[in-house]
Amino acid sequence: MIPNGCLIFEDDSFLDSTVAKMNALRKSGQFCDVRLQVCGHELMAHRAVLACCSPYLFEIFNSDMEPHGVAHVKFEDLNPEAVEVLLNYAYTAQLKAEKELVRDVYSAARRLKMERVKQICGDYLLSKMDCQCAIPYRNFASRMGDGRLVSKIDGYIQEHLLEISEQDDFLKLPRLKLEVILEDNLNLPSNGKLYSKVIYWLQRCLWENGEPLERMMEEVQTLYYSADHKLHDGSQLEGQTEVFGNDDHIQFLQKKPLRENFQKQASTSSSGSLSPGSVTQLCKHEWKYIASEKTNNSTYLCLAVLNGVLSVIFLHGRGSPHSSPSSTPSLPKSMSFEGQLEEREERLRAPLHYARSGLGTAELDGRLVAAGGYNREECLRTVESYDPKTDRWTFIAPMRTPRARFQMAVLMGQLYVMGGSNGHSDELSCGETYNPHEDEWTPVPELRTNRCNAGVCSLKNKLFVVGGSDPCGQKGLKNCDAFDPVTKIWTSCAPLNIRRHQAAACELSGMMYIIGGAESWNCLNSVERYNPENDTWTLIAPMNVARRGAGVAVYQGRLFVAGGFDGSHALRCVEAYDPTRNEWKMLGSMTSARSNCGMAVLDGAVYAVGGFDGNDFLSSIETYEPQDDNWSPCMEACS
C-alpha cells in the first residue's frame, strides 16, 4: 500500500536471512572486530552485535580508547563451548545447549550480564530437578548468588529431603551431630523454631568461644534445652556421661569441661548474649535452615547452610537425667490436669490408618473416602472410609493400581480416579471407578495423555480431567478432556489459558473451576472458570496466595481452598471465593500446614485430610467451624 504517497513494504524474511548471514560471517571471521580469548580458544565476533546482547561487553567496548581497532577480551574462567552457545544466541536468538553444558552457559551468561539467558538456564535446571541432582544444583545456585534459583531448589528439597538424604552427594556433606537434653516435661519445639535456635547457638559458639565450625563437627555437641525455651552449651552440665544415637551406632562421650574462652567471656559479660549487630559483622556468610525430617520420636535430620557451607545436622533429643543446671523450676504434674488432657485426646477425631499425601478424597453416601496417596515408603492402593457418626475409619476395596498425586470425583454415584503416579513411572494414563454396591474397582478407558497432578471434576454428567504434568517432567499442561460414562468415550475440550499442574479442580453452580497450581515451578494464584455451554475458559479474580497442591471444596455456595505449597513452605492458610462478588477472602487458618491434602464436605462440615506439613506425612483430619472461623482436630463436643 502507498498511503499519502509513501511506499511501505515489510519483508518478513529479511531479518531471518540477515542474522543467518551475519552468523556465517562470524564463523568465517569476516568483518569481525572482536576477539574473545576463552581459556586458550579464540572466538571471533562483531562488536555491535555483542554490545546489543551483553551489558558487560557494552561497558568494555564503550570504554575502549580505540573503537575502530580490533577489541581483545580475555576470559580465563569460562567454558569456550558455553561462550560459543551464547554467541550463537546473540546472532540467531536460538539458545541450544546440551544438558551437561547448561550450568556452564549459565555461568558465562552471568559473567556477561545476559539476564534473560540466566533465567532460561535456571528454569531448565529446575525442570530437570530430581533427588539425585538437588544438592549439586543447590551448591551451584548458591555459588552463582541466584536467590530465585536457590529458593526454588530449597522448596524442592523441603518436599523430598528423605529421598535426597539417600544420595551420594548428600552423604558427602559436612555433618554436625547434636544431642539435646530436655528439661523435665518439655518437648522439642517445631522444626523451624528448633533449628533457628541451633543456628543461633552455633553463631554464638563461633563468636564467644572462637570455636571453628570444622572442629565442632569432629565430635558430638551436647546442648541443654531449658524450661525458658533456650539452648545452652551442654558443658554447663557437670560430669555426666551422655549417650548419643545416630544412624550407625550409639556413642558414649564424656562431657567436655567448660572452655577457657567461654569462662573468660562469662567473667566479662553478665548477660552472655550476642547482639545481632555483632553476629552480622563477624559472620559474613549465610546461615540458613532449609529443611528437616523427624526420622523417629526423638531424632531429626536437617539440611542447613552453616557459615556459607551446605551441611547436615543430626539431632537427637532425650530427657534430662537430673534437674536443670540453672535450677529452673518445673511444673509438678497434676492429676486433674492430666485427666483434662486425656479427656481432650479422646475427643480428637480418629486419624487415618495410613499417613497420606497426594491422596484423592470425596464424599460418597454420607461418608468421607480417602484413597491412595503416598508416604515415605510407597504409593498406596488402600482406600479408607470415614463415618462421622461413629468417628471411625474402615477399609473398603483397594484400588487396582497404587497411585498418588491424583484427584477423585463422584459421577453418577460412583468414584472415579484418573492418572497420577504409581511411584515407579512419573505419569499414569489408566483410571478406575468404584461401585459402592459391589465394593469393587473396575478399569475405565485410558487417558489419551499420560498425566500426573491433574485436576479431576464431575460436571454435567461427565468427568473432566484438566491440566497436569507432562510425561517429560514438571511442565504444566493446558489439555482438558471429558469422559462420557455412558459411551465410554473421551473427547477434547477447550484448553486452559495457562499451563497448570497440581491445580485444584471443583464444580460450583454448573461451572468448573481450576485453581492455582504451577506453570512450571512458579506457583500460581490465578483461577480459571469453565463454561460447558460454550466450551470456554475465563480468568477470574486471583487468589490472595499463590499455591499448588491445595485442597478445594464447595461450602455454603463458596469455594474453600486450603493449604498447599507456595514454593517454599507448606501452607496453613485458607481462603474462600464468592462467585456473586468475584472476590477471595482469607479465612481462619488450619491447625496444621498441609500440602497435597484432601478436602471434602461431609454432613455440613468441611474436612481437611492428610497431606504433608513440611516435615511429616499426616494421618490427622480437621474440620472448619464457621461460627468461630477456625479449624479444629477435635469432635464438635470438644469445642
**Residue 237 confidence class, pLDDT cut points 50, 70, 90:** low
For residue 562, list its beta bridge partners. 551, 574
Longest dimension (CA), the chain: 100
Q: 3-class DSSP state for residue 408? A: strand
Is the pLDDT assigned to residue 264 strictly greater than 60? no
How far is the C-alpha of 247 from the C-alpha of 225, rounded, in Å? 23
- The pLDDT of residue 65 is 47
- The pLDDT of residue 577 is 97
The single residue listed with the C-alpha cell 482406600 is 383
How far is the C-alpha of 230 from the C-alpha of 180, rounded, in Å? 11
Asked if the domains at 20-128 and 350-638 fall in one CATH topology, the answer is no
Residue-wise pLDDT tens digits, 187-200:
666 656 778 788 88
433, three cell numbers: 471407578
Q: How far is CA 530 from CA 237, 416, 481, 537, 538, in A?
A: 65, 20, 12, 5, 7
Q: Which residues contact 254 (CB under 8 A, 6 or more apart)?
A: 239, 241
- The pLDDT of residue 341 is 33
Sheet with 527-531, side-by-side order of all strands: 504-508, 511-515, 527-531, 536-540
How far is the C-alpha of 113 from the C-alpha of 241, rounded, in Å? 57
- The pLDDT of residue 8 is 80
Record: fold of 350-638 = Neuraminidase (2.120.10)
Lowest mean pLDDT, pick from 259-263, 506-510, 567-571: 259-263
How far is the C-alpha of 550 from the C-alpha of 500, rounded, in Å? 13
Let me know: does 548 contact 521? Beta carbons within 8 Å. Answer: no
Extents of the domains making up the chain: 20-128, 173-264+276-321, 350-638
How far is the C-alpha of 291 from the C-alpha of 304, rounded, in Å? 7
For residue 35, list its beta bridge partners. 44, 72
Reported residue count of the chain is 639
User: What's the mean pLDDT in 295-323?
Assistant: 78
Is the pLDDT assigned to residue 130 strictly greater than 60? yes
560, three cell numbers: 474453600
How far is the C-alpha of 489 from the C-alpha of 342, rounded, in Å? 54
- The pLDDT of residue 70 is 73
**Residue 186 confidence class, pLDDT cut points 50, 70, 90:** low
Q: Which long-range contacts (CB under 8 A, 24 or more apart) does 518-521 make?
A: 518/474, 518/476, 518/548, 519/476, 520/123, 520/126, 520/127, 520/474, 520/475, 520/476, 521/123, 521/126, 521/127, 521/129, 521/152, 521/474, 521/567
Record: fold of 20-128 = Potassium Channel Kv1.1; Chain A (3.30.710)
Q: How many CA atoms lie within 13 A of 200 on its CB side?
A: 13
Lowest mean pLDDT, pick from 129-133, 261-265, 405-409: 261-265
User: What's the mean pLDDT in 544-571?
Assistant: 95
- The pLDDT of residue 222 is 86
Is the pLDDT assigned to residue 37 strictly greater than 70? yes
- The pLDDT of residue 472 is 62
User: What's the mean pLDDT in 159-169?
Assistant: 88
- The pLDDT of residue 233 is 75
Q: How many helices (H) and strands (E) does the chain have?
A: 14, 35
Name the CA radius of gyration of the chain, rounded.
30
Is the pLDDT assigned to residue 256 strictly greater than 50? no
Nearest to 493 by CA among 469, 467, 515: 467
How far is the C-alpha of 273 from the C-alpha of 207, rounded, in Å? 11
